[in-house]
A = this chain, B = another copy of it.
Amino acid sequence: MTAVIPAGVETARDLVGPALAAAVETFSPDVRKVAAYHLGLAGPEGALPGAAGGARPGGAPGARGRPPGAGKALRPALTLLSARAANAAPERGVPAAVAVELVHNFSLLHDDIMDGDTERRHRPTAWTVYGTGAAILAGDAMLALAQDVLLEDATPQGVWAARALSAAVQRLIAGQGADLAFEQRDDVSLTECLTMAGDKTAALMSCACSIGSIHVGAPPQLAMGLAAFGAHAGLAFQLTDDLLGIWGAPEVTGKPVRSDLRARKKSLPVVAALSAGTAEARELAALLAREEPLSEDELLLAAELVEAAGGKTWTENEAGTQLAAAHKCLADTDIPGDVRAEFAGIAEFITARQW
């Protein structure tokens, strides 16, 4: 299945990118440098990374084999659509889109430290370039700014939007906390793992899909319908992400091959495989329980065992189920037809993507 970038993603990048760049400009120089690098707005020394695309948050230098930064404009696109769903101009969704992007990037900055990830978006992660302390601080600054961007509008809607974002942030943190805790356990259930993914990924996606409408004063029923759509689409996104974390091509994903197995992540395909109760599941469990790092051959074997134990098929099926549920939520929500079609297009794109 080929994945065509929905038109709304490009539009969102053009509308939200400059506002995000302006928001980051408010940081102190030491903090701004790290944030700008992480967002692909600047190279390690603060210079823009090349003339073409450099001014765009998506324009990461050295991107190879995929549309530059398409992934990063997904949430903004959803948030602008969310404003349009409530019959507002997409421009009115920009503050909420900036806030969601700031939260998303705060979590990437901090997660990369916690997970020890050294590469993201085809570049060295911020903590490897500037040190752990500077990367923690840049994430902190983004998190704090996200709330403030929404509160520039001191109306009740501004407060509702800020609180919706807060709730998503707390779930995101709970999910990452569970993810970290899972690494120390060998008895994680598929239910726990789905809850974790719902918190870690789907909560912010759900927020991205609804906060634009909340911020322009949509009726609760509409916002809740969009939030439900986003929750299902977000789970489909994470299921796809977990498949790519094992079987994705590193030159496309921008992460090392089989990176999730390398880090012994209790990702959904792995936990589904471990729960299968087959000989392959037991062999996989024994392999992942080993103290020492796994060799490249062992990582390949682990990937084969996940597949043989049914972890890949389960994950693909569950992604399909979540995608179908997302479409059902869309159909049940009273929004303009063109907006519904664009939401649906992004949901399809999310699960068909290769990165």
Contact = CB atoms under 8 A, between A and B. Distances in A.
Contacts of A147: 144, 147, 162, 166
A133 B180 contact: yes
Nearest to A163: B151
Interface stretch (A167-175, A261-269, A278-286): A167-175
A113 to B, nearest CB: 7
Interface string A128-171: 00011110110111011101100100101011101100110110
Contacts of A199: 28
Nearest to A152: B163
A294 interface: no
A28 B136 contact: no
Given A27-B174, A28-B174, A31-B173, A137 B110 contact: yes
B28 A177 contact: yes
Copies of this chain, complex-wide, total 2
B28 A178 contact: yes
A82 interface: no
A130 to B, nearest CB: 9
Interface size class of A (residues with CB under 8 A): 35 or more
A185 to B, nearest CB: 11
A180 B115 CA distance: 23
A136 B151 CA distance: 25
Contacts of A181: 30
Interface in A38-73: none
A176 interface: yes
Given A113-B136, A151-B159, 16 more contacts: A28-B174, A30-B174, A110-B136, A113-B132, A114-B132, A114-B136, A131-B180, A136-B136, A140-B169, A141-B173, A143-B143, A144-B147, A144-B173, A148-B170, A154-B160, A158-B159
A154 B113 CA distance: 35
A321 interface: no
A168 to B, nearest CB: 10
A54 to B, nearest CB: 24
A58 B141 CA distance: 28
B177 A137 contact: yes
13 contacts: A27-B170, A28-B178, A30-B174, A30-B178, A31-B173, A110-B136, A113-B132, A114-B133, A115-B133, A141-B173, A147-B162, A154-B156, A154-B159
A26 interface: yes
Interface string A100-144: 000000100010011100000000000000011110110111011
- Name the residue among A26, A30, A145 with the largest chain B CB count within 10 angstroms: A30
Which 10 A-B residue pairs are closest in the complex by CB-CB distance?
A114-B133, A28-B174, A30-B177, A148-B166, A154-B159, A144-B169, A147-B147, A31-B177, A141-B173, A30-B181
